[in-house]
Structure 1
Amino acid sequence: MSIDIEMVSQAKVFGGFHKQYTHPSKVLQCDMKFAVFIPSSASTDNPVPVFYWLSGLTCTDENFMQKAGAFRVAEELGIAIVAPDTSPRGEGVPDDPDGAYDFGLGAGFYLNATQEPWSKHYQMYDYIVQELPELVEAHFPVSTVKSISGHSMGGHGALTIGIKNPEQYRAISAFSPITNPTNCPWGQKAFSRYLGSDQELWKDYDSCELLTTRGCTLPILVDQGDSDGFLEEQLKPQALEQAAKQVDPSLTLRMQPGYDHSYFFIQSFIDDHLRFHAEYLK
């Protein structure tokens, strides 16, 4: 990997290090940031597995790393964490003309856009699946063993990417994922602009559609708060559960009473998710 990365910041935490980097992305045609946690056990002689985290609408690489409280258990388990940004950014990267939070900057939806002006930069699927792992594996003491997780829009990304690439990941999990974006306002707005009017193309980025047509060989854990304000209109976890029943993948959907869509919810169950992934990252 010839691409250089530049460290922006670092801090020691629970014995390991949290570091933030910037790098030029050939796939996205802009400079990108990502954050990484490297546990103290990682070395050239002992490369560690990687837990990829995809964040939600309006987020950056910083939200999970600063709010989730994941480092203590990641250090204990010897797992690296990588958190990319949620969209391309920078001069010349188009944004929603109305400045809306659910499209454009901070809302890449982890897909490869096909429509102008979005297609030049909004290739987040290829960035997450190909470019970023190659970069991480070239620059850090990590192995090629990895799993994927995320929240909300990032939960959608984790599910669709994991289902479509079972040879690359060992497990999938999600908090409050957008499970059926072809059938919710957030997804319909994004897909119609990034992918165009042909709704058959949308199905390739819908975890319910993907489960029905492809199945899934990876174990999946989903946590959803039942006091989430987006539950019925946007997230639709029951649609994912119904799709899973048709093809019988290993899906565990846990409805958590009283929890909302926030990082307080993620803090409450992130240890469970890390231990779930650890079982398959050995």
Structure 2
Amino acid sequence: MISLVVATVLLLVHALVCLVLWTLMKLGLLPVRGHMLAVMVLVPLWGPLLVVLLIARSAVFGGDLKDATLEALRVNDDMHRSMLVQGREGDDGVVPLEEALIVNDPGDRRRLMLSMLTEDPDAYLAQLQAAKLNDDVEVAHYAATAVAQISKESDLKLQQLERAFKTDPSAHNLNTYCDYLGTYLASGLAEGRVAQIQRQQYARLLARRCEREEGLALRVRYATALADAGEVDEAEDVAERLVADTPDEQDVWMLCLRLAVLRHDGEMVQRVIDAVDKQHVYLSAENREKLAFWREGEEAR
């Protein structure tokens, strides 16, 4: 009961103070802006006190505080405007990695090689493989060592995925193993007889995936893997079924073109080109260039 009485008294005092301040504002004796009324009324006791403090500060400092603030803002703006963005002159010496390995001086080549080795060798695998043939013995040695290390790590991961798949031939393990093996073969790390064995394994894995799932891209990938493994006849069988099922797909016809080139069969190449023209197959810019290359080659004959 006592707390309720105290609260009521405080609210009445607050209302009285607000009324006094509002009256002074209306008479022009109190330089308070309209938006401060909400703060003064809705925040008991502290609202009117805040208004009084703002008025006191304004009375003491006057316009000096505003001028000082504006001056500080102007100085900061001038400082930011005076900051010069670093020019691109330093980029004049920047050249592609491949050119640096070929034409730059030995110091640049070795610094570049060390940079690739310390940053992320896997991301520069193609450049490292090219650097293995560099005339600079030191650069070639660094590159060969890095490629050997990457190959070792990739072989280890491939073995782990293969073991996991043999232990549990689930769809997840099959897809993971198959995708990594495809990436591994595309990197060029596998060579010689090992590469041939891995290509055959890759084709077998894709065959198992085709038994479990459908999809044009997967079947084209399977036929391509068969061709890479030297099983061109089997790849042609898959390609013929793809042509029958999806005669308007550009990937299918580019697969047929590739198989014809592998056969060294000029007549087959021309038949594929004629079929693409007859079917009015949509081709991407890259595939148009490939088709134009072989078309010009046949016309030259």
TM-score normalised to structure 1 length: 0.26
Q: Which has more strand, going by share of residues?
A: 1
Larger radius of gyration: 2
Higher RCO (Cα < 8 Å, 6 or more apart)? 1
Please state which structure has a larger fraction of its residues in helix. Answer: 2
Q: TM-score, normalised by structure 2?
A: 0.25
